[in-house]
Structures are given as C-alpha cells and as structure tokens.
Amino acid sequence: MLLVAEPVLGPEERAAAVAVLESGWITLGEQVRKFERAFAERHGAEDAVAVDSCTAALHLTLKALGIGPGDEVLVPSMTFVATVNAILYVGADPVMVDIEALERPLMSIDDAASRVTPRTRAVMLMHYAGHLTDAGPWRALCARHDLLLIEDSAHAVGIPGVGQYGDGAAFSFYGNKNMTTAEGGMVLMPKPELLERARQMRGHGMTRSVLQRLVARTPHYDVDMLGHNYRMDEIRAAIGLVQLGRLDDMNARRAALVGMYNERLAPLEQRHDGFHVPRPRSGISAHHIMPIVLPGGADRDRIAAEMHEAGVQTTIHYPPVHTLSYYRQRAPGIRLPLTEEFHRRELTLPLHPNMEESDVELVIGTLENVLESAFEPS
C-alpha cells in the first residue's frame, strides 16, 4: 500500500535515541534545551518551548496570552479539531470562519472581519496543507480591532516567515508531519516573558524543573501558577534534533513531488470541470499534504475505495469542526458553505519524501482510471 504519509527515519535517529537511553537521563533535560534553541534559530526566533504535542502548544500559547472566559477567538473550521479544542480549554469561545475558496482553503479574511464583535480577542490562523497565509492583511485586521494573532503552524514547519506573524505560534511533530518526534510540539512567542510563562506552565507551574534542582543542588521548588504536564522528553528531543537537520532536504523533496503532481494533474484540471488543485496564493508552502478537489458530481467515497483496492491510500483533510457531533451540539445551525463544499469534494493523495516519481505516476494513473467511471451510477 502506498501510504498518504510516512516518516523518514534512519540510523541517525536510532543512534540519537540510544545515546539518550545510555545516558541515564531520559526526562526533560539538555537534549530538550538544545532542540528548543536549534528550532528557534531555524525559524528566526530568540527561543522556543518544546512540549508533548501541538495541542499542548496551542493551549499554552492561548493561556500565556491571557485569553480566557468571555473572549472569542476567530478560527477556521477547516482544520483538525485540536485547533478549536484548545480555545475551549482556556474557557474562550471559538467563532468558526469559512474558507476563501475551493482553490484556496485558507481562512477567509472577509468572513473573519464580518464576525468580529466587542468580545473578539484573537485570530488563530492555520496554514492548511503547509500553504503560508498572507500575513499582511491579517496583521492589518488585528491592528484595526486590537486583536492578538496566533498561528497554528502544524503543517508549515521550516518555511521562511512561519512563526513570525504575530503573538505566538504552535508547531507539530506528530508522526505524519514534515519532521517528527513521534509525538511533540513547539511554542514560539516574540515576548520573552510570555514564552517563559509557557515554559513554566509546561511543567505543572513549578518554579524549578528536576534538572534545575539537580544543578542548583536543592530539592526545593514552588508552584505559583496553574500548570500542566506537557513536557517533552529527551528521547523525542534527540530525534527532533536529527530531523531538524534534515528538514530542508525533506521539504525540498516534498516540493519536487508536488511539482510532479501539478504537472500530471494539469490535464485533469482541464478535462474535468470543477477539478482543482489548491495552490498557495503566496507561492510559499511546506507541502505537508497533497489535497485535490474533485468535480462536483464525482463520488468521492467510491474513488477512495477504488484507489485503495489499487494499492493507493487516500484520506480526507478534514471533516469541518463545526460538523462534528460535539460542536454541532454546542452551536447548532452554523453554516459555512465553502468549507462544507470543500470537505464534500476534497481528497488527499499520498505525499512524503520516501516516494519516487513512479509512485506519483501510480497515483495519477489510478486516479485517472477511477475518475473516468466515478460519475456512472453504481
């Protein structure tokens, strides 16, 4: 089976993990600190805070910025549910926003602007598929309404400008991401005092970590804020350092594969009315996933099933958050027409650095064969 996503792991990652095991120090320590500094430098930041997931990174970012009960946060519904869940974790209210267009499934600034109220406190962008959102208009909107600007950068690690939009950014190192630590995340914030607040909240709100107490030769610590257990461990950080070192090569390979896809999908875009390949308006992308928009009359589930039978996995990114049962019960009646139509027709094709050109040919050939019969009655 040609998988939608597959991590690139080799002897360097194994050696890094073994070295940590042999060191005897496996919880948060020097490897985590090295990883934080290297990641920050790679993204043009002064420092960073490593955590155990992007969800934790989003939660801590919101908490450090003081967002809480009574506040509203504008957020896309076309995202993974964790983006919206984190807003609820701090007691704020998510206000879900439609996308720009089927060809540009990023949060619509026009729809967002129409949803600003006196309670609106922040905007949370999401760089869907790794396609970098245009920062200028969002910064202007936030300045006009005195709003905080946060990036969910789970799809966009390593590209120029990401994590530098506004008041905070969260990254993911989950197993299907452009670089992985199996599970893990990172927080970037431009204000050192807020980043340090996130760092302290990461470890139960304790004023000294285990390693800090060891170095200081004292067992004493205090807890002066409500914290969480969101620490990254040394094994994941060591793997992350290796992955960060090869990130440019892995992202370059993704870009090359997307170039092949675009070339081979162009005839399908011309042949089938309504067939689209979303591309970033900015021209900048980490190429995290390879989404396509099928023609309106195509049976998406049938196409996915037949491609699976042919040995090609596909998936969907994402069921819109406002259509999920929990959120339907919280806020019934929400309609986001473009988001809903995009979801009905979106299909994600395989994309990862282990793929060869022959794999792209297999995907396109299979899609072409299946698409020709996708409009016929079952």
Residue 290 backbone dihedrals phi, psi, to 5 degrees? -120, 80
Which among 203, 193, 49, 197 is positioned nearest to 211, based on CA atoms? 203
- Report the 10 Å Cβ neighbour count for 87: 24
CA dihedral over 191, 55, 282, 341, signed as positive or negative:
negative
Task: Say if CB 145 and CB 121 are below 8 A apart.
Answer: no
Pick from 156, 178, 160: which is nearest to 45 by CA? 160
Pairing of strands 104-107, 99-101: antiparallel
CA-closest candidate to residue 96, choices 343, 334, 316: 334
Would you place residue 376 in the very low, low, confident or very high pLDDT band (cuts 50, 70, 90)? low
Q: What is the pLDDT at residue 332?
A: 93
Q: Which helix (H) or strand (E) holds 54?
A: helix 54-64
Positions marked catalytic = 177
Query: Is 138's pLDDT higher than 70?
Result: yes
pLDDT tens-digit series, residues 18-55: 999 999 999 999 999 999 999 999 999 999 999 999 99
Q: pLDDT class for 213, splitting at 50, 70, 90?
A: confident
Q: What is the mean pLDDT of residues 273-299?
A: 95
CA dihedral 45, 27, 196, 170 (to 10 degrees): 50
DSSP string of 322-360, one letter each residue: GGSHHHHHHSTT---HHHHHHHHHEEEEP--TT--HHHH
Cβ pair 244, 38 in contact under 8 A: yes
Say which residues have a Cβ less than 8 Å from residue 157's Cβ, sequence separation at least 6: 171, 172, 173, 177, 178, 179, 247, 286
Ramachandran region of residue 184, left (φ > 0), alpha (ψ -120 to 50) or beta? left
pLDDT band at 375 (very low <50, low <70, confident <90, very high): low
Query: Are 165 and 188 in contact, with CB atoms under 8 Å apart?
Result: no
How long is the chain? 378
Backbone angles phi, psi at 120, to 5 degrees: -65, 125
> Is the confidence at residue 217, as pLDDT, over 80?
no
Domains in the chain, start-ordered, CATH in brackets?
A: 11-246 (3.40.640.10), 248-372 (3.90.1150.10)
Q: How does residue 378 score in pLDDT terms, banded at 50, 70 and 90?
A: very low
pLDDT at 228 over 60: yes
Q: What is the pLDDT of residues 176-207, one digit of tens each?
A: 999 999 999 999 999 999 999 999 999 999 98
pLDDT tens-place string over residues 306-328: 999 999 999 999 999 999 999 99
pLDDT score of 360 more than 50: yes
DSSP-derived 3-state class of residue 110: helix
User: Where do the DSSP E strands lie in the chain?
Assistant: 49-51, 72-76, 93-97, 99-101, 104-107, 120-126, 148-152, 168-172, 185-188, 290-293, 346-349
Reported pTM: 0.96
As a whole number of Å, the end-to-end CA separation of the chain is 25
Percentage of the chain modeled with pLDDT above 70: 99
Residue 96: closest CA among 113, 73, 80, 63: 73
| Whole-angstrom distance, CA of residue 189 vs CA of residue 150 | 9
Residue with tokens 């920050």, as numbered in its chain: 40
Q: What is the DSSP letter of 17?
A: H
Q: 214 falls in which pLDDT band (50, 70, 90)?
A: confident
Handedness of CA 202, 206, 210, 214 (dihedral sign): positive
> Comparing C-alpha atoms, which of 148, 210, 168, 133 is closest to residue 43?
168
